[in-house]
Amino acid sequence: MSVTASAANPLIEVRKVTKRFGGTTALDQVSVTVEAGELLAICGENGAGKSTLMKILCGQYTEYEGEVLLRGQPLRLSGIKDAEAHGISIIHQELNLVEELSIAANIFLGREMVRGGFFLANGEMNRRAGEILTQLECRIPPETLAGQLRIGDQQLVEIAKALSLGSDVLIMDEPTSALTEAESARLDRVIGQLRQRGVTILYISHKMEEIFRLADRIVVLRDGKNVTTVKREEVTPREVAHLMVGRELNWDRQPHGEKDSEYSVVLEVCQLSRRWPQHPREWKLREVSFTARAGEILGFAGLMGAGRTELFECLYGNSDDEVLGDIFLAGKRVRFEHPAEAIAAGMAMVTEDRKRLGLFANLNVGENMTLNSLHQDRNAARIVEKGRETKRCRDMVGQLQVKTAGLQAAIGSLSGGNQQKCVMGRALLTQPQVLLLDDPTRGVDVGAKAEIYRLIRDLAQRGMCVLMASSELPELLHLCDRLIVLNEGRITAEFSAAEATEQAIMEAATVNSAKGRGPSDQNLGGGS
């Protein structure tokens, strides 16, 4: 495999950069060249050093060994503002929006437009924000509060914020991690427009199809070190994945066995509807009915806003909206008012947004994992026995192969993939009958993704009922025994593993859903 020769006059040159955090070396003698106008993909497992390198280039990390050159001149940034002044901006993987402010206010935060020298020019900021959102083919009003947006829409606002800077160099760290395929295609078009204007893009992604669709060259990092730099056409996705993890990965579609009557029905949902107050559509979910069996992986597909997350929130007791219909868990009718009730009944959930909804930054690794299952460690006096708690947590860390300095380590010190394993470990420590997984591999590298896939299949083989929503169709096709497609809160199709194809799923996800504004009156009596 040949290494691409660097350009004679690269736009950016990273020379033997080393970055340490205490006793941990995040980058070790890393050298990279970036040519003007190219899209350079940076690949590697979580913890490989990709984000650390990008944070140096955008001025977030200012202390490191080695040097960075911009247009042949030494560059030592003092901070993010300094990087922006040099024409470098970044779209972070983890969202950094102020939820109490509007979309427009977030886009121009720290660079507010004023009139008369004193007053905020809100009208002008809304107008300009609207133009950028239109460029992203996003129709959300710029006056909308960021906290009211779903995670995918929040990601688009982060992208709009970076585009508003008009930078020469744009760093994209997992920009599509929360986007649907349609939204990702929209971003592809924006990237094409930026490249036509001569913008240089550094692109981090764990999605091989994106890398091979967009990149000119690919840099592979592993354990903080350079592995290679190659032209896209010189390698295959399988070869890049092997370079990233240092071993072969099996991405072949797994055979699925039909879950027939010998598998008992664990979950039954009948005519489930969820109101959408003060919204023209009126209903987030409309007359959703399905069954799920022990040992089955049941997948839920659909575009952003189709109702996947809203469905899981209803099942888990995490909805403040009015919910109608019936839910039966192990044959017993249930209606959970709080997730604690769902956990006690044998249901657990892994959220789509681990930073905002899944992790507790002030708790360490062990505390994050055992938070929902401490009742298992109480003695007769109802006091938690620390030794018992530690043993259960240590066993789960070993089972999930979490890479951590110890149970006392700060949760923020872990890579994204290992943080996700901790969130899954917390759910599994409650010993659920039904496990809800909402985009469980979002922001996770190919190595950790393969490990999570193996874990999900193993859980199903041991008899757990797994419901899984994902914005990645290949992931659902790879894992699931059955697939249900949602569109505008309704079920529009159901496929067995043998029947499911990407084309059939996308057709069901994009067709007009059944007419009507909500459940019929005769169907409203099934629950309140």
Written as one string, the DSSP assignment of 435-491 is EEEESTTTT--HHHHHHHHHHHHHHHHTT-EEEEE-S-HHHHHHH-SEEEEEETTEE
C-alpha pair distances (Å), 242 with each of 32, 73, 178, 431: 20, 35, 25, 34
pLDDT at residue 56, as a whole number:
95
Closest by CA to 167, choosing from 58, 88, 92, 80, is: 88
Residue that wins the pLDDT comparison between 481 and 358: 481
CA distance 11 to 87: 12
Mean pLDDT of the region 285-314:
91
Asked if 300 and 314 touch (Cβ cutoff 8 Å), the reply is: no
C-alpha pair distances (Å), 525 with each of 94, 307, 320, 387, 467: 42, 22, 19, 49, 26
CA 201 from centroid of its chain's CA atoms: 21
Strand partners, 324: 273
pLDDT range class, residue 320, cuts 50, 70, 90: confident
CA distance 48 to 278: 46
Tokens of 90: 């970044």
Predicted TM-score of the model (pTM): 0.60
Q: Which amino acid is at 388?
A: R
Same topology for domains 1-87+202-249 and 265-346+432-526, yes or no? yes
CATH assignment of 1-87+202-249, given 3.30.70.1150, 3.40.50.300, 3.30.559.30, 3.20.20.140? 3.40.50.300
131 CB-near residues (< 8 Å, 6+ apart)? none
Average pLDDT along the chain = 85
pLDDT at residue 253, as a whole number:
52
Instruction: Return the residue matching tokens 């055992």.
Output: 370
Mean pLDDT of the region 283-291:
92
pLDDT at residue 447, as a whole number:
75
What dotted CATH number matches 265-346+432-526?
3.40.50.300
CA distance 458 to 460: 5
pLDDT at residue 358, as a whole number:
80
pLDDT range class, residue 513, cuts 50, 70, 90: very low
pLDDT at residue 310, as a whole number:
92
Which strands, in side-by-side order, build the sheet including 490-496?
347-350, 434-438, 465-469, 297-301, 482-487, 490-496
DSSP 358: I
Q: Where are the domains positioned within the chain?
A: 1-87+202-249, 265-346+432-526, 361-424
128 CB-near residues (< 8 Å, 6+ apart)? 104, 107, 108, 113, 164
CA distance 506 to 503: 5
Residue that wins the pLDDT comparison between 312 and 452: 312
pLDDT at residue 30, as a whole number:
95
Q: Is the pLDDT of residue 464 over 70?
A: yes
CA distance 430 to 426: 7
Share of the chain above pLDDT 90, in %: 44
Strand partners, 219: 42, 229
Residue that wins the pLDDT comparison between 349 and 174: 349
CA distance 296 to 30: 45
Query: Within 13 Å and on the Cβ side, how many CA atoms surround 127?
Result: 5
Strands 65-70 and 12-21: antiparallel
CA distance 437 to 470: 8
Q: Which amino acid is at 525?
A: G
Mean pLDDT of the region 338-365:
88
CA distance 377 to 411: 22
Q: Where are the alpha helices (DSSP H) in 61-207?
A: 80-85, 103-107, 122-135, 151-163, 181-196
CA distance 193 to 187: 10
Q: Per mean pLDDT, which of 230-234, 364-368, 523-527 is the most reliable?
A: 230-234
pLDDT at residue 256, as a whole number:
53
Tokens of 117: 């020298």
pLDDT in tens, 23-70: 778 899 999 999 999 999 998 876 788 889 999 999 999 999 999 999
CB neighbourhood size of 365 (10 A): 25
pLDDT in tens, 201-213: 999 987 788 899 9
Strand partners, 468: 299, 437
Asked if 298 and 484 touch (Cβ cutoff 8 Å), the reply is: yes
pLDDT at residue 528, as a whole number:
31
Mean pLDDT of the region 88-102:
85
